[in-house]
Amino acid sequence: MFITDLADKLRAYTAPDGSKLTVIETAGWKLRGYAGQGMEGVEGVLWHHTATAEAAYARSNAPTLNILINGHSFLPGPLCQLGLARDGSVYVVAAGLCNHAGTGSASGLYRNVGNSYFIGIEMESSGVRDDWTEAQRRVMPHLGAALERGYGKGKDFIQIGHKEYSDQGKIDPSYIDMDALRLAINDLLYGGTTHVAPAAQNAAPAPGFQTAVGDNASAPHWVVTPGDTLAKVARYYFGSSSAEDVKKLADYNGIKDPNRLAVGQRIFIPGPLVWTVEPGDSWEKIATYYGYSVEAVKERNPGKCLTPGTVLTLWKAGER
């Protein structure tokens, strides 16, 4: 299915204070879908940030728009159905299937098929610091409410961050507390209150989930799904699953029994997180894989180039 009524659903929404969303339709969006494919249904929304270099915002309100439409050299577009610009305008990018979800699940559901069931929203932000605009924070809960009102009738409608869905350590949308955003959306739908999307809170993790970087929602982490083990996480991030690697993860996250993980638990990764360059790698590919901007990756690796075998530092413990 192609959700060609998407712009109409957004324009039909009126906030409790009488305000409306600013909706901008890109040319050809109703026919746009990856490889001409449509979606299987609309079961929810998957929220992202664009990981755009901050310098780009000086010349454009939505500098990533062309990429959202056409994709990268390594990931064909469209990359989302909707884009949220710096001034709070909502760009309608596509009506069909988009490449945004990657692998993962929503509490065990829709495993690795998020593209087929979730509307993807890419929001303009670097992701490396809290650079959200006041307009974006104001619009986020209203945009979520508009989509839930338009497509969620008679069923549970999922509002989830990429960092909650992904099993690849994605961090987006950074500096957004998804629980608070969901609460703000629900209040708009059922309480008639106007809300602004809150920043990520520095609340301590629940007992048993304490981590060395537990208050750092932007640190690389793995969200546990059924069947996951520390060995699997270690193999993904360290390239091996030796007893030493597993112990490193367990100690860093305060896990007493490495064989007992809870679904939904976040396993934070001890720094440094590195990338060994392989033939064909690009700065954009490396940055996008973990939800960083190219600028941020280059700043962490001054003087380094993409010669195969070069080890790049993507993240160090303590960074935000």
Residue-level pLDDT at 256: 85
* pLDDT grade for 150, boundaries at 50, 70 and 90: very high
- Domain 6-190 falls in which CATH fold? Lysozyme-like (3.40.80)
Residue 320 has pLDDT above 80, yes or no: no
The residues near 170 (Cβ < 8 Å, ≥ 6 apart) are 102, 104, 162, 163, 290, 291
What contacts 264, CB < 8 A, 6 or more positions away?
107, 223, 224
Strand partners, 20: 14
The set of residues, in sequence order, having a beta carbon less than 8 Å from that of 152 and lying 6+ positions away, is 44
Region 141-151: what's the mean pLDDT? 96
Q: Where are the beta strands (DSSP E) in the chain?
A: 23-25, 44-49, 82-84, 90-92, 118-123, 158-161, 221-223, 266-268, 273-276, 311-315
| pLDDT mean over 120-131 | 93
Distance CA 233, CA 159 (A): 26
What pLDDT is stored for residue 196 in this prediction? Answer: 55
Domain boundaries, the chain: 6-190, 225-268, 273-315
How far is residue 112's CA from residue 103's CA, in Å, rounded to a whole number?
4
The stretch 218-247 carries a mean pLDDT of 79
Q: 53-57, 187-191, 314-318 — which is least confidently predicted?
A: 314-318
| pLDDT, position 291 | 63
204 in the Ramachandran plot: left (φ > 0), alpha (ψ -120 to 50) or beta? beta
pLDDT at residue 209 tops 50: no
Place of tokens 């062309």: 66
Q: How far apart are CA 210 and CA 302, in angstroms?
A: 34
Q: Write out the two tokens for 167.
A: 């099993």
| Average pLDDT score, the chain | 84
pLDDT at 198: 52
Contact 104, 32 (CB under 8 A): no
Judge residue 61's burial from the number of C-beta atoms within 10 Å of its C-beta, 0-12 exposed, 13-18 middle, 19 or more buried. middle
Residue located via tokens 């159905």 = 81
Whether 26 has a pLDDT exceeding 60, the answer reads yes
**CATH topology assigned to domain 273-315:** Membrane-bound Lytic Murein Transglycosylase D; Chain A (3.10.350)
Q: Which of 305, 315, 200 is nearest to 269 (CA)?
A: 315
Side-chain-side CA neighbours of residue 217 (13 Å): 21
Cα angle 152, 132, 112 (rounded to 5 degrees) comes to 45
Q: How many residues does the chain have?
A: 320
Q: What's the token pair of residue 288?
A: 């996008």
Q: What is the mean pLDDT of residues 112-124?
A: 97
Q: At what angle do helices 230-238 and 243-253 cross, to 10 degrees?
A: 100
Q: Which of 54, 88, 55, 85 is nearest to 68 (CA)?
A: 85
**Predicted confidence band at 203 (pLDDT cuts at 50, 70, 90)?**
very low
Evaluated on CA atoms 252, 314, 241, 169, the torsion sign reads: positive
Cα–Cα distance, 306 to 166 (Å, whole number) = 27
Displacement of CA 80 from its chain's centroid (Å)? 11
